[in-house]
Structure 1
Amino acid sequence: MSRIRPTDDGDELLVRLGTLTAQARERAELQRSLLQLAVALQRGMLPGDMPVTPRFHLAVKYSPANHGLNVGGDWYDAFTMPDGRIGLSIGDVQGHNIEAAAFMGQVRVGLRALASVTSEPGELLALTNDLLLSLGTELFATCTFVRLDPATGVLESARAGHIPSVWATADGRCGIADDEGGPPLGIVAGQRYPVTEHRLTTGGVFVLVTDGVVEGPSMSVDEGLDQVMRLAGIAAVAGMEAGSLAAAVIKGAERVGHEDDAAVLVVGHDAPETGP
């Protein structure tokens, strides 16, 4: 009499394990492809060259998120406006995925486009806020926009829920910009964004950062801003190049223990030349 061999449970388990492994590999490859696409999209939307103007030196450093499959939405921008003044922006989109990277591009391009309508920082942020709300997305962004007049050394800034800027001068003074600011972009319509004026006439630096530079598990935002302020103060007194200061600030960001993008934009300015 023949006997029927029972199903080998071990073989069935191996088959199931192989199927699950293949599915996991496919998901990992998909996530890897999405990450590569988001990083390429993010980097492609950031500017290359910085405007060049006498007495002022612009420098940027950017460190993308590198934990897991996250990709953030930090950006920076600098461009010359039709009247010869320079527009500067830095910001951070809520979220860490390909949608955040794409939204970052929309915010940056929106700011540039609307700067042809008005270059006044407060009005520009208000228009951008309403534009983003019209897109119907649930994402929002923090941002600082600066208008710099190289002819006079006047810097005007407006802030939308973003980290305050840091300043330092060659005569040994330094501090955190004391400006009122407004809410992030893309949350509530009809917002106003106060403008703060700074006069860059004594030689020194003005530093804009994203929160990945100054805030994380290992450091509070106040401690992070103090760290940037100390670096800026040393750089201003020593006459350090803007690029060297930007590199030092982004290096210091490693101490915050963040899992976010980190961006820094430095405006270095020379003291006016004096006669003999």
Structure 2
Amino acid sequence: ALKERGLKVTVVEMLPQILPAMLDLDMANIVKEILEQKGLSILTEKRVEEILGEDKATGVIAGEEQLNADILLSAFGVRANTKLASEANIELGETRAIKTNARMETNIKDIFAAGDCAEVPNLITHKPSCSQLGTIAVRQGKVAGTNAGGGYSLFQGVLGSAVTKLFDTEVGSTGLTVNAAKKARIETVTGTINSKTRADYYPGAKPIKIKLVVEKESHHLIGAQIIGGEEVTQRINAISFAIQKHMTISELAKADTAYAPPLSETWEPIILAAEIVLRKLQ
């Protein structure tokens, strides 16, 4: 938004890549290149060491380099606000968010938690997680509200499905990245494909890149990352459904998909990515 208003924009990222919660390094570098082509300056592996200025911020020191600025936006991450819960002796979990059961109930009967402060299990690793997304918060709130009102509802867990749009590029992910899988000691095989959102010869066809992440032994689909000009959200949603139904990569490769030149390629790119994984597993 700032760039489109004519401002010179520099992004300083402490980690080796942008969008680390959504993408692996190879996919993140593609997004980084797209943003740089749009005129953004992106500095990775640079820690903001000091904010300069007296009455207002005039710049930062990052990686021993001074970056002067008229506007400074601080986005150093989000932490669960558990002050009220701690004062009420409500138990916190491994992520330091509020520990809940499947009914979104805390350790104190009839006290519920939902949203960015609540800890819930990851559907793949089954370990506690705190995915601070609006889509997750509203589902948790529905479960907590139902139970608080005397009904019965369960929250099964999260995949952390997310999408965003940067200029004219859509970026989405669901499940585990390869990096997240490694941290959970899950061995993976991946398949990546470059394709188009419509028949290649049809006007308006836009590029799309899909990466699938598969658990090596069970062949279950456990994650996906997509970068494209359009139709990213619904593909992420479809893959999320597949992961939740414990679909194997061979089942995905045989899925029945639709085709019409103005709307899609003959071969759905997800299917082609699945076939690449299958060849690696053979």
Which TM-score applies when normalising by structure 2?
A: 0.25
Structure having the higher Rg? 1
Instruction: Tell me which of the two structures has the higher relative contact order, counting C-alpha pairs closer than 8 angstroms and 6 or more residues apart.
Output: 1
**Comparing both structures, which one devotes a greater share of its residues to helix?**
1
Q: TM-score, normalised by structure 1?
A: 0.26
